[in-house]
Amino acid sequence: MTSTLQVVLIVSAALFSTGLLAALSRRHAIFILIGIEMMLGAANLNFIAFWRFSPQSQPPTGIMIAIFSIAIAAAEAAVGLALVIAVYRHYRTTNVDHLDQLKG
């Protein structure tokens, strides 16, 4: 029988995959960011799960990583959203299909 850790990891994997799906299949630029946030959340879940099931260390490394990860994710989300707004202002669209200036 699968252990709790494995289950949690599988849940986190599912969450990760869903995040990937979101990033790949939406046409609004924002949703790529949402997908990335979900993937990051899944990773955090992984860290916490491993922290829970591993010999405890002082300081609690898993917790630390998760905290920092969240902070960084926030910063990245802010910048990303600012980017989307800037792009919208310039190109008048958020449809990623139309944002192919880097084509070549």
Cβ atoms 9, 49 nearer than 8 A: yes
Shortest distance, position 43 Cβ to other proteins, whole Å: 11
Shortest distance, position 30 Cβ to other proteins, whole Å: 6
Each residue 68-87 as x (binds other proteins by CB under 8 A) or -, in order, gives: x-xxxxxxxxxx-xxxxxx-
Residues 52 and 12: their CA atoms lie apart, in Å, by: 14
Shortest distance, position 90 Cβ to other proteins, whole Å: 9
Residue type, 91: Y
Burial environment of residue 54 by CB neighbours within 10 A (0 to 12, 13 to 18, 19 or more) = exposed
Each residue 23-62 as x (binds other proteins by CB under 8 A) or -, in order, gives: xxxxxxxxxxxxx-xx--x--xx--xx-xxx-xx-xxx-x
List the interface residues with other proteins, window 6-25 (CB under 8 A).
Answer: 6-11, 13-25
Backbone angles phi, psi at 83, to 5 degrees: -60, -45
Shortest distance, position 69 Cβ to other proteins, whole Å: 10
Q: Would you state the structure tokens that stand for residue 9, as one six-digit string?
A: 């990891």
